[in-house]
């Protein structure tokens, strides 16, 4: 049965953040809040945890996973970013955007899109997520918490616990996150809007 942490959305309790980070390091899959829906996340270096995350969502790697990063410099360490791309990323982070980019060598190949060697990256604007990332000191491998057969992401932490209590190690109640997913921008060949979501593409000139 999963643990359930109620973490203050503006002043996260340090003890609970430390414990949540330990659960991730120890191979746990967690449900956690972002600025755009709740997400499922796990440790980037844990293959079994990644496989469990994919199984919960019933997706494969043709559906890009996302590295949720603490800041722009962390994001740039996990992707091949030129000067033009960096300027665009700076204009839209933090925020409700996911960027598809060519992954750097620091990203395990088993996490990448099988044909493109790309991955999603983003920097959230959510206090709980940022506190967790700061404690971990590395990105969280993540995807939107939308379960098979559902029309929208889950938004109620108590419903998340009810439906996933035997599948994840931790559910973090960090308050209301909304139901709108991120806006997805493919930056591998120019700048292309893939999915319109919460982030305003006008910030990128689109």
* Domain assignment present for 204: no
Q: Is 44 helix (H, G, I), strand (E, B) or coil?
A: coil
> Locate tokens 């999963």: which residue?
2
* Domain assignment present for 63: yes
pLDDT in tens, 111-140: 999 889 999 999 999 999 999 999 999 999
Share of the chain above pLDDT 70, in %: 100
Q: What is the pLDDT of residue 175?
A: 93
For the chain, the domain total comes to 1
* Domain assignment present for 203: no
Backbone angles phi, psi at 12, to 5 degrees: -60, 135
* Domain assignment present for 90: yes
Task: Read off the tokens for 6.
Answer: 């109620």
* Nearest-angstrom CA–CA distance, 45 and 140: 10
> Locate tokens 């890009």: which residue?
64
pLDDT in tens, 18-51: 999 999 999 999 999 999 999 999 999 999 999 9
Which of the four pLDDT bands, split at 50, 70 and 90, describes residue 204?
Answer: confident
* Nearest-angstrom CA–CA distance, 78 and 105: 7
- Averaged over 178-191, what is the pLDDT? 92
Quick one: 169 exposed, middle or buried, by C-beta within 10 A (0-12, 13-18, 19+)?
Answer: buried
* Domain assignment present for 206: no
* Domain assignment present for 205: no
Q: HSE on the CB side for 199, CA within 13 Å?
A: 30
* Domain assignment present for 141: yes
In which element (H, E) is residue 78 found? none
This prediction has a pTM of: 0.95
CATH value at residue 184: 3.90.870.10
Which of the four pLDDT bands, split at 50, 70 and 90, describes residue 62?
Answer: confident
For residue 143, the enclosing domain spans 3-197
Q: Using the predicted structure, report yes or no on whether residue 206 has a pLDDT greater than 90.
A: no
User: Long-range contact list for 152-155, CB < 8 A, 24+ apart?
Assistant: 152/179, 153/37, 153/38, 153/179, 153/181, 154/31, 154/38, 155/37, 155/38, 155/179
Which of the four pLDDT bands, split at 50, 70 and 90, describes residue 183?
Answer: very high
* Domain assignment present for 146: yes
């Amino acid at each position: 049965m999963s643990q359930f942490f109620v973490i203050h959305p503006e002043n996260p309790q340090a003890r609970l953040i430390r414990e949540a980070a330990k659960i991730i390091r120890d191979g746990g899959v967690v449900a956690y809040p972002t600025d755009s829906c709740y997400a499922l996340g796990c440790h980037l270096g844990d293959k079994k945890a990644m496989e469990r995350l994919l199984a919960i969502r019933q997706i494969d790697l043709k559906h890009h996973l996302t590295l949720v990063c603490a800041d722009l410099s962390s994001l740039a360490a996990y992707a091949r970013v030129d000067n033009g791309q960096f300027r665009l990323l700076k204009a839209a982070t933090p925020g409700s955007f996911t960027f598809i980019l060519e992954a750097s060598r620091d990203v395990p190949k088993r996490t990448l899109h099988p044909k493109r060697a790309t991955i999603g990256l983003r920097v959230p604007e959510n206090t709980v997520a940022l506190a967790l990332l700061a404690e971990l000191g590395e990105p969280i491998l993540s995807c939107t918490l939308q379960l098979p057969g559902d029309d929208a992401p889950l938004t109620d932490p108590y419903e998340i616990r009810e439906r996933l209590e035997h599948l994840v190690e931790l559910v973090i109640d960090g308050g209301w996150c909304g139901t709108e997913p991120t806006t997805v921008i493919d930056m591998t060949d120019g700048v292309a809007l893939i999915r319109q979501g919460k982030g305003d593409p006008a910030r990128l000139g689109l």
